[in-house]
């Protein structure tokens, strides 16, 4: 072959590859045949250019109004389906869980920061995830969770005490509560102040982790996997991921080692980690998986619970009549002898309605956590190809117009009249319907729901019983685009609220109860 031809061929090869690649992405960004309806796509981008960097659920909601309860999107070559109604969520995620329970590729989370399937929330559906899930479910079953009542109650008493003495600091007191309760329930350790090193370290590690996983924080390495092979000099995010991994490991390992040392000294609290360590070998978990399991329970449980409690305050400020009704119910059960405890929670149907309404009104993962379909499927005449990412979009599910009147308003009564909060009669068609989609659905549904509901109910009960809560509604930013954070967990930003004891009697009871609970707190290293 003449030399000039060889050069031409070599020069031509990369060009051909590029054309082939462009051709592939051009076709891949088109909507597959019989895919659910959605907004028009652009070559290569699909709908990527229409998706906002933050609060994508609001865009999902807008599309649901035009295209209905099942919307198909193309994010570059990636197929995405948004489920905006409870029926498709029940039919697909709940009833066909065997094929709708994996997670999408997450190179940064799963390969760089938490390799070897240590992160239960991100792990693909398979044997590794199954071991973690089984362990977590055993830890978070009703009996195990309810056995932690004493420390959860003691921490709630501390929170009421803090609200009495420093009401302006309400935001941090509530966030401390949820972190401290999970810290004590999981690791048997105490997070006494919001500024205590462990609480701060947990928040810092979590903020770093969620910020690098946020859309736009790294190039789209999952949609365009070749980006993974960029050298470190061109990919600063790789070094950042390493730093986050180091910080996370150090924290989670130190928490686990401290628990081991405490148990070795005979100071047993009955925390979840003690159970895991006891059965570690039998469960087939090495130290890395045990440490991460504990750490991820902290991550998954604390901000979510705090955010819901803060949204409850906003809910009752928006609807003072609901506060009044909840308080009358509590007064009927507790009088002015004592503040509510876990034993009272089953006697408070209105307060329970307030809790479910808060979860409906302001779900903490409003767009849902992505599930991955692992096999071709058909539903309602649509073809859903293997590899499609599926979102159960709680924001829209909780606002279906034919189900919820005034869906943007906080109206707990709707859950008194109907267990699903819906209008109309409850019938067989509601079979397997969930009262709330805030905890997700299917085989990946939140395993912490029981624990979360206990913590929410107890704190909502104590706050509502003991405090006057009010705010100037004109001073509060009610627009979720600006009044809420747009991170991994959707949470209210600080808002002006007045929290004062209802009377001296209520104040004295909170003071007395906190003193009495000190013995419980001391057990956890107060």
Query: What are the residues binding ligand HEM (CB under 6 A)?
Result: 120-121, 133, 136, 182, 297, 300-301, 304-305, 308, 364-365, 369, 438-442, 444-448, 451-452
d(CA 49, CA 46): 8
Residue 220 C-beta: closest distance to ligand HEM, Å: 21
> In angstroms, rounded to a whole number, what is the distance separating the alpha carbons of residues 124 and 441?
16
Pick 38 or 442: Cβ nearer ligand HEM = 442
What is the nearest approach in angstroms of ligand HEM to the Cβ of residue 438?
5
The DSSP result for 102-170, as a single string, is: B----IIIIIIISTTTT-TTTPPSSHHHHHHHHHHHHHTSHHHHHTTHHHHHHHHHHHHHHHHH-GGGH
CA–CA distances in Å: residue 47 to residues 32, 40, 60, 74, 76: 14, 7, 12, 5, 7
Evaluated on CA atoms 519, 521, 525, 526, the torsion sign reads negative
Would you call 268 helix, strand, or coil by DSSP?
A: coil
Binding site for heme: what residues are annotated?
446
Q: 3-class SS at 420?
A: coil
State which residue, 46 or 440, has the beta carbon closest to ligand HEM: 440
CB atoms within 10 A of CB 516: 11
Nearer to ligand HEM, 186 or 334 (CB): 186
CA distance 486 to 146: 33
How many whole angstroms separate alpha carbon 265 and alpha carbon 522? Answer: 16
Quote the least distance from Cβ 121 to ligand HEM, whole Å. Answer: 4
- Token reading at 231: 């050298």
- Cβ neighbors of 204 (< 8 A, separation 6 or more) are 247
With respect to ligand HEM, which residue has the nearer C-beta, 160 or 297? 297
Nearer to ligand HEM, 158 or 459 (CB): 459
Q: Which two tokens stand for residue 306?
A: 């705090």
CB atoms within 10 A of CB 433: 16
- Smallest gap from residue 143 Cβ to ligand HEM (A): 16
Residue with token string 């507790």? 334
CB of 435 to ligand HEM, least distance (A): 13
**Cβ nearer to ligand HEM, comparing 164 with 489:** 489
Rounded Cα distance between 15 and 314, Å, is: 58
Largest separation between any pair of C-alpha atoms in the chain: 100
CB 51 within 8 A of CB 70: no
**Residue number, 157 or 454, with CB nearest to ligand HEM:** 454
Kindly state the smallest distance separating residue 311's Cβ from ligand HEM, in Å: 10
Closer to ligand HEM by Cβ: residue 133 or 502: 133
Distances (CA, A) of 142 to 145, 153, 461, 506, 514: 5, 16, 20, 31, 26
- CA–CA distance, 372 with 384 (Å, rounded to integer): 11
| Residues tagged in the binding site annotation | 446
Our CA angle for 469, 180, 323, nearest 5°, is 20
Task: Return the number of the residue (120 or 174) whose C-beta is nearest ligand HEM.
Answer: 120
> Which residue's CB is nearer to ligand HEM, number 181 or number 241?
181
CA proximity to 369, closest of 289, 421, 299: 299
- Label residue 509 exposed, middle or buried (CB < 10 Å: 0-12, 13-18, 19+): buried
CA distances from 114 to 89, 105, 111 (A): 29, 13, 6
Query: How far apart (Å, rounded) are the C-alpha atoms in residues 420 and 515?
Result: 40
In angstroms, the CA 304 to CA 489 distance is 6
């Amino acid at each position: 072959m003449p030399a000039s031809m060889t050069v031409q061929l070599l020069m031509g090869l990369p060009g051909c590859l590029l054309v082939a690649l462009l051709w592939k992405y051009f076709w891949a960004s088109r909507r597959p045949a019989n895919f659910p309806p959605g907004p028009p796509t652009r070559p290569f981008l699909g709908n990527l250019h229409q998706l906002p960097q933050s609060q994508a659920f609001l865009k999902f909601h807008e599309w649901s109004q035009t295209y209905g309860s099942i919307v198909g999107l193309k994010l570059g070559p990636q197929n995405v389906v948004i489920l905006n109604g409870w029926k498709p969520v029940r039919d697909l995620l709940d009833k066909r869980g065997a094929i709708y329970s994996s997670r999408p590729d997450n190179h940064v989370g799963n390969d760089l920061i938490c390799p070897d399937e240590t992160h239960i929330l991100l792990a693909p559906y398979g044997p590794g995830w199954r071991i973690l899930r089984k362990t977590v479910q055993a830890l978070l079953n009703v009996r195990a969770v309810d056995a932690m009542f004493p420390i959860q109650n003691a921490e709630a008493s501390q929170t009421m005490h803090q609200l009495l003495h420093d009401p302006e600091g309400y935001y941090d007191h509530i966030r401390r509560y949820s972190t401290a309760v999970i810290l004590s329930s999981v690791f048997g350790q105490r997070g006494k102040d919001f500024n205590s090193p462990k609480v701060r370290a947990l928040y810092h590690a979590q903020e770093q982790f969620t910020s690098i996983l946020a859309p736009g924080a790294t190039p789209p390495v999952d949609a365009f996997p070749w980006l993974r092979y960029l050298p470190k000099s061109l990919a600063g995010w790789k070094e950042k991921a390493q730093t986050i991994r180091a910080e996370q490991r150090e924290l989670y390992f130190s928490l686990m080692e401290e628990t081991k040392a405490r148990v070795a000294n005979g100071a047993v609290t009955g925390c979840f980690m003690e159970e895991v360590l006891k059965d570690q070998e039998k469960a087939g978990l090495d130290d890395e998986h045990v440490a991460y399991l504990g750490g991820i329970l902290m991550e998954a449980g604390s901000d979510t619970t705090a955010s819901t409690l803060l949204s409850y305050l906003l809910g009752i400020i928006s609807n003072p009549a609901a506060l009044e009704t909840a308080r009358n119910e509590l007064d009927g059960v507790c009088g002015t002898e004592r503040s509510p405890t876990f034993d009272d929670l089953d006697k408070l149907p209105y307060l329970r309605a307030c809790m479910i309404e808060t979860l409906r009104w302001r779900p903490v993962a409003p767009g849902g956590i992505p599930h991955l379909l692992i096999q071709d499927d058909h539903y309602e005449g649509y073809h859903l190809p293997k590899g499609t990412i599926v979102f159960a979009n709680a924001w829209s599910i909780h606002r279906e117009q034919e189900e919820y009147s005034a869906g943007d308003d906080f109206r707990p009564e709707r859950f008194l009249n109907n267990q699903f909060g819906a209008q109309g009669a409850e019938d067989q068609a509601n079979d397997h319907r969930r009262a709330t989609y805030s905890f997700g659905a299917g085989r990946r549904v939140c395993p912490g729901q029981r624990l979360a509901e206990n913590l929410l109910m107890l704190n909502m009960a104590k706050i509502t019983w003991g405090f006057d809560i009010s705010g100037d509604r004109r001073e509060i930013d009610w627009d979720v685009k600006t009044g809420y954070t747009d991170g991994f967990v959707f949470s209210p930003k600080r808002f002006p609220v007045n929290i004062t004891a209802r009377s001296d009697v209520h104040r004295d009871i909170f003071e007395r109860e906190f003193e009495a609970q000190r013995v419980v707190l001391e057990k956890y290293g107060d």
